[in-house]
């Protein structure tokens, strides 16, 4: 097993925590990236009904790492929900095509971000039809398994002589804005083709690696933080590792 923190190990015994396959109503909003730390602290973190959350930062030149598309999954109760069996994830070829086109320049990067904001949600599959849900054309209900059952084939790069680079950085919530600002400056200066930038919350981990919580990488140094941190996942065509190190050093 290769771990998310760059570790390698062999699992000989595991204890699993299993979550109920609850029904969620999907939600999405576009906001300024600077609003995210306060929004999470004041609204999302305090709302026990929000079971899942993640965000995408803009990779379009006109709003580069300034807009954040936030996805939430809020628990709903009801006796009549029917959970459809999981099937094959659709649209993988289209998603891969979008990524490949984004490598071709600013115009396609703008189109990719516009499609994420205005088109993608209209194509989402709902566990319960909108009419069955609450009688609203805007309601979409899914089971917890649906967003967890994503497809990874679209991430596989089949282009010859071309490599996608994936990095994740763990940032204290208080430094999220300054880190993104630093990343924007360095990535722009290095003309890095950033294909995707996702945001997630990493909770404290209760395992033998802890005395406190998740790993935070800052300027090449590993630290342990006694708090919830923000995970920033970046996929780029080239150069993201060195750029991120420079951005982290600038904020240290």
pLDDT tens-digit map of 175-212: 999 999 999 999 999 888 898 999 999 877 655 444 44
Phi, psi (degrees; rounded to nearest 5) at 108: -70, -30
8 or 2, which is more confident: 8
Phi, psi (degrees; rounded to nearest 5) at 38: -70, -40
Q: Tell me if the domain spanning 163-252 has CATH number 3.30.70.
A: yes
CATH 3.30.70 residue ranges for the chain: 163-252
Q: From the DSSP assignment, how many helices (H) and strands (E) are in the chain?
A: 7, 9
Kindly provide the residue ranges of all beta strands, DSSP E only, lying in the chain, ordered along the sequence: 23-32, 50-57, 67-75, 141-143, 165-172, 194-202, 215-218, 221-224, 229-236
Most confident range, picked from 28-32, 142-146, 148-152, 229-233: 28-32
């Amino acid at each position: 097993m290769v771990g998310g923190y760059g570790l390698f190990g062999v699992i000989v015994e595991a204890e699993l925590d299993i979550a109920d396959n609850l029904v969620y109503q999907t939600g999405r909003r576009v906001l300024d990236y600077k609003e995210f730390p306060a929004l999470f602290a004041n609204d999302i973190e305090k709302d026990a009904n929000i079971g899942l959350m993640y965000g995408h930062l803009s990779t379009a030149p006109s709003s580069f790492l300034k807009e954040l598309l936030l996805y939430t999954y809020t628990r709903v109760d009801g006796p009549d929900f029917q959970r459809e069996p999981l099937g094959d994830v659709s649209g993988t070829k289209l998603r891969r095509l979008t990524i490949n086109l984004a490598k071709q320049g600013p115009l396609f990067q703008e189109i990719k971000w516009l499609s994420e904001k205005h088109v993608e949600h209209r194509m989402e599959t709902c566990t319960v039809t909108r009419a069955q849900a609450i009688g609203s054309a805007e309601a979409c209900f899914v089971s917890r398994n649906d967003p967890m059952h994503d497809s990874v084939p679209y991430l596989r790069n089949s282009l010859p002589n071309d490599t996608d680079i994936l990095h994740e950085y763990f940032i204290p919530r208080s430094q999220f804005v300054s880190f993104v600002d630093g990343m924007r400056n360095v990535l722009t200066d290095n003309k890095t083709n950033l294909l995707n930038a996702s945001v997630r919350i990493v909770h404290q981990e209760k395992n033998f690696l802890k005395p406190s919580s998740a790993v935070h990488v800052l300027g090449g140094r590993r630290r342990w933080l006694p708090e919830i941190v923000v995970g920033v996942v970046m996929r780029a065509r080239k150069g993201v590792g060195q750029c991120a190190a420079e951005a982290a050093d600038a904020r240290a």
